[in-house]
């Protein structure tokens, strides 16, 4: 097997292999050649080549998100590294294990005007779990010559001893830093950065390893809830007649169904689930905005909980955030083994265990249910909302709202839905999604910049069909995502093209002015047709509900290429129809 000749590159490659970091996304470059050579010559690694670093990093997020294991991205020196930043921030706030491996120039070439050189050390310091700055190997320039006089030989041996001591110190430092970074990514769940300096020559090969790095295992302490804390929770729970559980972004199959069933049986508990929570029960309250948007002040006071429990990632619904900030619970507990956000400005407890561990310890000790009509009352409200929702939807005009209703009803069983940000994910929140469908969205930073790349990364490592539903601006913004040789044939994209940034027509603002159209909504007349042709997607389009239903009958079926369906909706009607919807369900 061929290896890079540089010991530092060998160290990186071996430790990644020993610590089972298998998926490596490489962007082309010269300074990272020793890493590229090492990864691509070892059959252990699954290597991908993606030119655009921003797309590469979001593609890696899609893989890591699905496999729940660290995925690495590799780039050359200079501005290439900065293009990873949007995905690094997303991984930081979404708890995704992402390892950034950046090649760098030696210190003596930095700050002197050398090409493709920036200050790379700690460049992500505000959005990173760990920054490892590795040290350059010393060059073995002191060869012991043959047939030298003994004094000369002893002098050279002394220099060599000092040289080897320095090199061993560097090697130990590098091994420790690489181990620490990978351990952090895996156990703390987030991004880390390993900066790797290389001097030329970069392309030399060897068939023999010159280093044998040491693996440092992470100290995996199993977290548990202390008995006194658990007892306090039980006492407070038993005293409260109004308990609310609110679940944000949550991977599928994380919480045992028996605990969900227990919570659903308690009349003093209402469980609000966002679409991205991947939790389902007929007695839970999905579609939060549909439920609470029409409430009066008096009804909000009735809904105000004594205890609020949250778990999962960030919350999408602005309405529920506004509600719980104004009508704060007496206690807010957040359950997460790493971090807790004080989203509602009243966080009292951070219970530092996985939610499944908490419910396993907690719920069996709740021996009686508090008498309460909390859930019963809100169940009647839910039924009324659902009835009005169905009545409105049946006669809704063709618009973004109608498209989401038709589209979500057509999703195949056991598929994966990746949703773009801004208006797309907010529309999805208004509908009940097939419980067999897994739902994902980049809600860490809520940006439009990597939805397509993430969806493609997801599709490459899952057997289930992946469907991306995205808005036009998000799709065009991330169009380089399609410059990718790993897109499976069953991958599907639905682009809802409303001719601009539809989210800005929904938000408060001065609409229908030249300033608004040009600078906020960014009105356009672009189509995905030519992009589909360039990247070998089967393309179709529609601009009516009848046509949409017809297209969807065959859209998810087998094909020789991935497919893209572009749905054109009326730009000036979408926001009006959404407003009509919220008025209708009051």
Q: Is residue 254 part of a domain?
A: yes
Domain end (from 348, 378, 408) = 378
- State whether 27 and 168 are in the same domain: yes
Q: Is residue 387 part of a domain?
A: no
251 alpha carbon, distance to own chain's centre: 11
How sure is the predictor about 505, in pLDDT bands with cuts at 50, 70 and 90?
A: low
Domain end (from 311, 345, 378) = 378
Report how far residue 294's alpha carbon sits from residue 57's, in angstroms, rounded to the nearest whole number.
Answer: 40
Round the average pLDDT of the chain to a whole number and report it: 92
Q: Is residue 391 part of a domain?
A: no
Determine if the pTM surpasses 0.85. yes
- State pLDDT tens for residues 255-310: 999 999 999 999 999 999 999 999 999 999 999 999 999 999 999 999 999 999 99
CATH number at residue 275: 3.40.50.1220
Q: Is residue 112 part of a domain?
A: yes
- State whether 405 and 371 are in the same domain: no
- Which class for 218: exposed (0-12), middle (13-18), buried (19 or more C-beta within 10 A)? middle
pLDDT of residue 369: 87
- State whether 366 and 508 are in the same domain: no
CATH number at residue 165: 3.40.50.970
Q: Is residue 53 part of a domain?
A: yes
Retrieve residue 342's tokens: 């004080």
Domain end (from 334, 349, 378) = 378
pLDDT of residue 151: 52
Residue 586 or residue 280, greater confidence:
280
- Beta-sheet strands, E only, within 304-344: 307-311, 331-335
CA atoms within 13 A on the CB side of 101: 31
- State whether 20 and 117 are in the same domain: yes
- State whether 339 and 428 are in the same domain: no
Q: Is 539 helix (H, G, I), strand (E, B) or coil?
A: strand
Q: Is the pLDDT of residue 1 over 90?
A: no
pLDDT of residue 507: 62
Report how far residue 452's alpha carbon sits from residue 450's, in angstroms, rounded to the nearest whole number.
Answer: 6
Range of the domain at 263: 227-378
Mean pLDDT value across residues 172-191: 97
Report how far residue 146's alpha carbon sits from residue 144's, in angstroms, rounded to the nearest whole number.
Answer: 7
- State pLDDT tens for residues 182-220: 999 999 999 999 999 999 999 999 999 999 999 999 887
**HEC-encoded secondary structure of 172-215:** HHHHHHHHHHHHHHHHHHCEEEEEEECCCCCCCEECCCCCCCCC
pLDDT of residue 510: 63
Contacts for 372 with CB less than 8 Å, ≥ 6 apart: 241, 242, 267, 268
Q: Is residue 299 part of a domain?
A: yes
- State whether 166 and 29 are in the same domain: yes
Which is nearest to 227 in space by CA: 368, 365, 369?
365
- State whether 22 and 122 are in the same domain: yes
How sure is the predictor about 358, in pLDDT bands with cuts at 50, 70 and 90?
A: very high
Place of tokens 């971090």: 339
How sure is the predictor about 154, in pLDDT bands with cuts at 50, 70 and 90?
A: very low
Q: Is residue 213 part of a domain?
A: no
Q: Is the pLDDT of residue 511 over 50?
A: yes
Q: Is residue 16 part of a domain?
A: yes
- State whether 322 and 361 are in the same domain: yes
- State whether 400 and 366 are in the same domain: no
- Residue 32, number of CB atoms within 10 A of its CB: 25
Share of the chain above pLDDT 70, in %: 93
How sure is the predictor about 522, in pLDDT bands with cuts at 50, 70 and 90?
A: confident
Residue 20 or residue 223, greater confidence:
20
Mean pLDDT value across residues 43-72: 98
- State pLDDT tens for residues 364-396: 999 888 999 999 999 999 999 999 999 999 999
Q: Is the pLDDT of residue 335 over 80?
A: yes
- State whether 137 and 41 are in the same domain: yes
- The dihedral through the CA atoms of 530, 533, 536, 539 has a sign that is positive
- State whether 257 and 161 are in the same domain: no
- State whether 367 and 409 are in the same domain: no
Number of domains forming the structure of the chain: 3
- Beta-sheet strands, E only, within 485-572: 492-497, 538-542, 563-568
């Amino acid at each position: 097997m061929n290896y890079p000749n540089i010991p530092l590159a060998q160290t990186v490659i071996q430790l990644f292999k020993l610590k089972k970091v298998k998926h490596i996304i490489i962007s082309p470059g010269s300074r990272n050649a020793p890493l590229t050579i090492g990864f691509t010559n070892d059959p252990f690694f699954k290597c991908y080549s993606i030119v655009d670093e921003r797309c590469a990093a979001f593609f890696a997020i899609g893989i890591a998100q699905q496999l729940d294991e660290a995925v690495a991205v590799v780039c050359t020196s200079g501005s290439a590294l900065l293009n990873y930043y949007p995905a690094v921030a997303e991984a930081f706030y979404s708890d995704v294990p992402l390892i950034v491996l950046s090649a760098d120039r030696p210190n003596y070439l930095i700050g002197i005007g050398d090409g493709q050189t920036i200050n790379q050390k700690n460049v992500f310091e505000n959005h990173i779990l760990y920054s490892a700055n590795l040290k350059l190997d010393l060059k073995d320039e002191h060869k012991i010559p043959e047939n030298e006089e003994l004094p000369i030989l002893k002098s050279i041996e002394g220099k060599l001893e000092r040289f080897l001591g320095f090199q061993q110190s560097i090697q130990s430092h590098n091994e420790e830093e690489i181990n620490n970074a990978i351990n952090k990514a895996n156990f703390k769940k987030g991004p880390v950065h390993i900066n790797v300096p290389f001097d030329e020559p970069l392309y030399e090969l060897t068939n023999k390893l010159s280093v044998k790095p040491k693996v440092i295992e992470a100290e995996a302490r199993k977290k548990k809830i202390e008995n006194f804390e658990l007892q306090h929770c039980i006492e407070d729970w038993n005293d409260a007649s109004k308990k609310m559980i609110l679940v944000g972004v949550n991977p599928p199959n994380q919480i045992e169904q028996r605990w969900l069933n227990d919570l659903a049986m308690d009349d003093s508990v209402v469980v609000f689930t966002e679409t991205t929570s991947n939790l389902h029960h007929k007695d839970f309250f999905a579609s939060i905005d549909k439920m609470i948007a029409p409430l009066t002040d008096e009804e909000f006071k009735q809904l105000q909980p004594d205890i609020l429990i949250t778990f999962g990632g960030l919350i999408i619904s602005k309405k529920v955030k506004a509600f719980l900030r104004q009508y704060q619970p007496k206690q807010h507990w957040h359950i997460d083994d790493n971090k807790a956000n004080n989203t509602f400005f009243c966080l009292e407890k951070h219970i530092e265990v996985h939610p499944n561990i908490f419910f396993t310890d907690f719920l069996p000790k709740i021996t009686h249910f508090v008498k309460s009509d909390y859930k019963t009352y809100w169940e009647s409200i839910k039924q009324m909302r659902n009835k009005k929702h169905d009545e409105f939807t049946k006669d809704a005009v063709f618009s973004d709202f109608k498209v989401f209703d038709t589209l979500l009803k057509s999703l195949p069983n056991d598929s994966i839905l990746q949703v773009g940000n801004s208006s797309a994910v907010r529309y999805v929140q208004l509908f009940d999604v097939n419980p067999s469908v897994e739902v994902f969205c980049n809600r860490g930073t809520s940006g439009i910049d990597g939805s397509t790349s993430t969806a493609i990364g997801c599709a490459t490592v899952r057997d289930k069909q992946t469907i991306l539903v995205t808005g036009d601006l998000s799709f065009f913004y991330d169009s380089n995502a399609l410059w990718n040789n790993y897109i499976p044939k069953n991958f599907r994209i639905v682009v809802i093209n409303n001719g601009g940034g539809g989210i800005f027509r929904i938000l408060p603002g001065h609409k229908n002015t030249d300033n608004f159209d040009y600078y906020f909504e960014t009105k356009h007349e672009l189509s995905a047709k030519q992009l589909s042709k360039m990247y070998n997607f089967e393309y179709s389009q529609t601009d009516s509900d009848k046509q949409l239903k017809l297209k969807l009958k065959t859209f998810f079926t087998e094909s020789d290429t991935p497919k893209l369906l572009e749905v054109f909706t009326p730009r000036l009607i979408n926001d009006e129809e959404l407003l009509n919807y919220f008025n209708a369900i009051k």
